[in-house]
Structure 1
Amino acid sequence: MPQPRPRFASWLMLLAMTLVLVAFSGCKRDAPEEAIRAQVTALQAAIEARSASDVADLLDEDFIGPQGMDRRGARQTAAVLMLRHQRIGVVTGPLDVELQGADRARVRTRAALTGGDGAALLPDSAQAWRIESGWRLRGDTWRITSLEWTPALQ
């Protein structure tokens, strides 16, 4: 079976990083920020459960990723990575949530994915990433509208 392209692993890592560090809140936060952090936690759970459809459910209908990746392409990329790795863990840094009005936000973090027993970095993406994601409130649910990542160690 061919090796997954680093772009796929990078996308998954980025998505995980951007959306995962939500559980660490020690101070009072605004309701929108709490809701976004909860969605990040849901994304982490979806990645670790290897559920590409649950990952896609968190993406906005207008989602755009690297190189013009749309929602469908993101779901397919996640599915390929999840088929390649029996176990996936997400290691993230703190989330920086910046609200932009009542219905938009920007989230920044750093992250890495683990594979196998949860201790080894995924072989084709042994890299830490800076992740930035855009969010939009649709109805009463925050969804990811954009995702960008760059290597953190350069």
Structure 2
Amino acid sequence: MFDPKLLKYIPLVVAARIVHHAGEALEHTLAYSGKPRRSEHSLGKAAGRSTMKYLYRFAFLALLVVMATGCHRAPDEVLIRQAIDKVAQATEQVDASAVVAPLTDDFDGNGGGMTRQDIGNLLRAAKFRSETLHAVLGPVDVQPRGERYVASFTITLTSGGKLFPSELGVYKVETAWRREGHDWRCYSATWTQQI
């Protein structure tokens, strides 16, 4: 999947290509044209005009890129769904830091039953014991609640180890999200085992 953060490097790449092609064109006309060489003074003026022409083109292209990146921003609902997908993938990899990354420092799990640190410690213990986890995520429903969002989904957890047997099964999960800086972070979650 394309990372929108890479768009900021496009003007640099375009500028490098333009300057490279301008230099090749100038070298070609001097070395292979068969025409008598101009004086260095007139050559300098021509090169200056050529460079300015390429700089104007570059400025126009850079403006287009900036306008395109400013207009392209994923909707908040999509960003929240992507964060939930990443957590599900990180759960399968038993990656504690990636699972807790979208959680706020004051995260409240099941009405005080689990904190951000508790979830991280549980997954670190599972990783230490070489446990395997499998997470199958159901459809995610994201609804706005003022300036915040609530995302609901089901998740099926299975394991190949002994640390989680009583916690495995199908869960109905409801998560609450708020914006912190440019990111959406989960500050609360409740889950109930269905099966």
Common fold: TM-score over 0.5: yes
Which range, TM-score by smaller chain?
0.5 to 0.7
For residues 181 and 190 of structure 2, what CA distance do their matches in structure 1 show? 24
For residues 144 and 130 of structure 2, what CA distance do their matches in structure 1 show? 34
Higher helix residue share: 2
Given that 2:172 and 2:194 are in contact with CA atoms closer than 8 Å, whether structure 1 keeps it comes out as yes
Q: Report 1 or 2 for greater relative contact order, CA contacts < 8 Å, sequence distance ≥ 6.
A: 1
For residues 103 and 110 of structure 2, what CA distance do their matches in structure 1 show? 14
Q: 1:50 aligns with which of 83, 88, 94?
A: 94
In structure 2, the partner of 1:70 is 115
Given that 2:133 and 2:159 are in contact with CA atoms closer than 8 Å, whether structure 1 keeps it comes out as yes
Pair 1:147 & 2:189 matched: yes
**1:87-145 CA deviation, whole Å, 9 max, x = no partner?**
2211122111111233x11111111112239xxxx632342111111111111111110
For residues 61 and 123 of structure 1, what CA distance do their matches in structure 2 show? 28
Aligned to 1:94, the other structure's residue is in SS state coil
**Ranges in structure 1 where 5+ consecutive residues have no aligned partner:** 1-29
In structure 1, the partner of 2:170 is 128
In structure 1, the partner of 2:83 is 39
For residues 126 and 87 of structure 1, what CA distance do their matches in structure 2 show? 12
Identity rate, percent: 30
Q: Structure 1 residues 131 and 82 mapped into 2: Cα distance closer, same or farther (>3 Å)?
A: farther
Q: Deviation at 1:71?
A: 1.9
In structure 1, the partner of 2:40 is none
Pair 1:105 & 2:123 matched: no
Larger Rg: 2
**Ranges in structure 2 where 5+ consecutive residues have no aligned partner:** 1-73
Counting matched residue pairs gives 119
Higher strand residue share: 1
Q: Structure 1 residues 136 and 49 mapped into 2: Cα distance closer, same or farther (>3 Å)?
A: same
- Report the TM-score, using the length of structure 2 for normalisation: 0.55
Q: Structure 1 residues 105 and 88 mapped into 2: Cα distance closer, same or farther (>3 Å)?
A: same
